[in-house]
Amino acid sequence: MKLWKILEDVEILSLNLVDVECNIVGLALKSSEVKKGFMFFAIKGETHDGNDYINEAIRNGASCVISETKHTNISSVEVRDVRIAMATISSNYYDSRHKQHKIIVATGTNGKTTTTYMLYEILKCSGQKATLIGTRGAYINEKNVYNGLTTPDPIILHKIIKQSYEMGVRIIIVELSAHAIYYKKLYGICAEIGLFTNFSQDHLDFFESMEFYGSVKKYAFLNPDIRYAIINVDDDLGEEIYRERIEKGLLATTCGIKKPADVFAIDIDMEEGIKCTINAYDEILELDTNFHGEFNLYNILLAVAAARALSVSSDTIINGYYTMEATPGRFNIINGKTIDAIVDFAHTPDGLRNLLITSRKLCKGTIILVFGCGGNRDKSKRKAMGLIAYELADYVIITEDNSRYEDANDITSEIAKGFNDNYFKYQIILDRKDAIKKACELAKPGDIIVIAGKGDEEYLDCNGIKKAYSDKNTIEEMIRSYSL
């Protein structure tokens, strides 16, 4: 694509040694990914400055550099905001195919993955093709095309959207992380529907305060880039967002079970899965699902509301939920002859609390919890999660969970501060497999082993190395051996 065409709608401050007729054959955010004829975006991040890698990008064949810094000795374009420029250029390069799609975005601290998965499965049941982009990767008609960040950077995002278009898809469902909002990854994209799940503590290593973190979530919903918002108003921030959208004259609807809402549930039975009657815009749906816990009921309400907004019939939604399996890595129940386990992604205080409260309702004996906290992330939640574990589990084994570049001993010690010096209720076993093995040794019939933090992740990230590992595979193997 010609450079002049790629630069359409970009706010340019200066052009330096640029041939606007040159042909750009690819876009790259990392200098190591640059090839001959590529455009390189020199972005200043939290730990690295892309401007320091410009020479490497040029050596690798970059035809043009986009930067907020003026460079007079290379072919470069100076822009006011390189992230906005990258989003605009990525859209241009991939033919702005997002304009031919219905885009649905979901944001919130917890529940994004499950809510979007539910909607994706409902659409499949209705016969509609869809693309799902989120924590578990990107899937176009069930074909995995990307594994990486929850919300990909614009270059990858727009590439996936174009691939989707070429495969006949016209609905894109995206998990929108707070980081993605902050970094303007969806700049220029109008979402048909925006879903707000909830708000609680997470990512304070990056956002530093709950006020700032909340303001970022809120920002995404208080502009017309989301045409129609579906909001959990039982959540305090959700109620605030709904009120302010209405004041701005923006379209919004509500979900809830504790406050008046447009989509709500009654006759709720959560003994074996979630069974309930849902009133969706005065239409009644009798649901029988394989999901557990009040937190999943909120996810169901949001997904049902979105499906009805997309004109999916009530009968299709009901049938979809009847056959739908639990989201991979989210409250997955694994039954053995003598040992039962639950594997879940819960990695926030609120997520862990919901997990343990729901697990308790299924448990006839004791709950043995295995969990840790990630390294180089929000340290303030470690003690808080330790306290929740102390209060809601019967026994806890604190272990490794993606310690990254931190010492796992330091992380587990900080978690243990929430245990009020009761050494009889927990122990620390750093090796995650050994921790799960110990839980199996302790478990008796009627007990439940709850393994939290990783869900369906298939690696452990330690000292910059990702080792192959799966909680699900580990517990399944051990359940078999301990059930002989």
Digit-coded pLDDT (tens) for 377-428: 999 999 999 999 999 999 999 999 999 999 999 999 999 999 976 667 999 9
Using CA atoms, how far apart are residues 232 and 229, in angstroms rounded to an integer?
10
Task: Name the band, by pLDDT with cuts 50, 70 and 90, for residue 188.
Answer: very high
User: What's the average model confidence in pLDDT over 246-253?
Assistant: 97
The angle formed by the CA atoms of residues 142, 144 and 149, to the nearest 5 degrees, is 125
CATH number of this structure's domain 3-82, picked from the four choices 3.60.20.10, 3.50.30.10, 3.40.1390.10, 3.30.390.10: 3.40.1390.10
What are residue 44's DSSP bridge partners?
Answer: 49
The angle formed by the CA atoms of residues 399, 402 and 405, to the nearest 5 degrees, is 110
The single-letter code of the amino acid at 209 is S
Across all residues in the chain, what is the average pLDDT?
95
Using CA atoms, how far apart are residues 224 and 221, in angstroms rounded to an integer?
8
Domain boundaries, the chain: 3-82, 97-323, 332-482
User: What's the average model confidence in pLDDT over 43-66?
Assistant: 94
Q: At a CB cut-off of 8 Å and minimum separation 6, what does 415 contact?
A: 372, 373, 382, 383, 385, 386, 389, 398
Smallest CA-to-CA distance from 120 within 101, 107, 139, 136 is with 139
Please, are residues 255 and 230 in contact by the beta-carbon 8 Å criterion? yes
- Please spell the DSSP secondary structure of 173-219, one letter per residue: EEE--HHHHHTTTTTTPPEEEEEE----S--HHHH-SHHHHHHHHHH
The angle formed by the CA atoms of residues 205, 208 and 211, to the nearest 5 degrees, is 135
Two tokens, residue 185: 């990854």
**Please, what CATH class does the domain formed by 97-323 belong to?**
alpha beta
Using CA atoms, how far apart are residues 330 and 149, in angstroms rounded to an integer?
18
pLDDT at residue 472 greater than cutoff 80: yes
User: What's the average model confidence in pLDDT over 81-105?
Assistant: 98
The single-letter code of the amino acid at 341 is A
Structure confidence by residue, pLDDT tens digits, 139-171: 999 999 999 999 999 999 999 999 999 999 999
Smallest CA-to-CA distance from 232 within 110, 359, 361, 381 is with 110
CATH number of 332-482: 3.90.190.20
User: What's the average model confidence in pLDDT over 102-115?
Assistant: 97
